[in-house]
Structure 1
Amino acid sequence: MREQYRTTELSAADLAPEPIAQFTRWFKETAENPAIHEPNAMIVSTAGADGRPSSRTVLLKHYDRAGFVFFTNYDSRKGADLAANPYASLLFPWHPLARQVIVTGRAERVGREETVAYFRTRPHGSQLGAWASPQSSVIASRAELLARYEELAARYPEDAQVPVPPEWGGIRVVPEAVEFWQGHENRLHDRLRYVREAGPGSAEGADGETWRVERLAP
């Protein structure tokens, strides 16, 4: 199966001076498109010390010039991968717009205060779920998981403050390269990539960082 993409050309002249501003442009358009469910859904790819890759879908919870933030159990597979090999790739697959954004960079844990502040905004059930699930671990059954959840629900009713699990927190991917992919007919897609650098002739963002824009063959 193959689809012919018919979209507008993306040129270097169309891009914002730095990738976060460009991501904001595209993210706004994506969020306004009713055909796209959960525009903040992204595929996170990691590799462990043995070099074996793994991928999963998570939700982007915050982004700014410092990077792209998601939250997870640090004892999960992705948490263990990043502890051994602190680099990740993020893919935003916005297929109805024939667009993708690919972020690659170094992953680091966010501060505990930032984790606690975000945890407090989660629905009560999601807070309990963070405690109930030993993410990526083998469990005997779903019944075991539900029993653990019910035990926690009895301990922390709706009006109780749920503490943040010590092994749970945020990951920030600090971008080293950000690619904007726009699909076109005959597989002649536009692929424009910002690469972080410091040197003459590069585009400078408002924070003083410099980025080189390069076009990739599709």
Structure 2
Amino acid sequence: MDDSPPQTTWEQRTEVPLAVASLAFLASYAVQVLAPHGVLPVTVMCGAWALFALDYAVRWRLSGQGPGFVRRQWLDTLVVVLPLLRPLRIVRLYEAVQRRHGHPRLPLHARVITYAGISTGLLGFAGALAVYQQERGAPGASMRTFGDAVWWTCSTLATVGYGDIAPVTPVGRLIAVGMMACGLALLGAVTGSFSSWLIQVFSRQDDERPPG
């Protein structure tokens, strides 16, 4: 008999369907931007958003937290509101796979670096699609191909910012601000975790070294 809270049971049962919806959303968005094929990609994206909204509403109801749910689950709120963050639901499936034996299969530092890497890849691809959709054909735009958008995304997430390619549209610049913030956060998470791991390794070696 399952004694898990209703919200936990719901999240476990919907983890895989929502991850598939995330992949479908990202694939349909890529088709819509790079090779438009009528209404099918838009229909798939709308269907994926409907699943995210339904999941959010059900978990809100099951939590019994009222308006406080929005504040406590701010990331899930952003995933529903902002299309670019919806592919990040795939990371939650990876977390579930890691815990399938009741505990994570990777140590904490490796998990943080892995999650940050997956998040960066998903966010970077979605961001490149979004900014390219806004910039292509805009007057004075230096981002003429999707390859240019990928190059700009890599330099932005890496906080390098060469300046050879930059968005000129208001929405493109707004996306750029979000990409900069995410790049700083993810880079800080990876750097901090790697530094902490090195400190632990060196401390362990010092403890194991014989005195004298």
TM-score above 0.5: no
* Higher fraction of strand: 1
* Higher fraction of helix: 2
TM value normalised by structure 1: 0.21
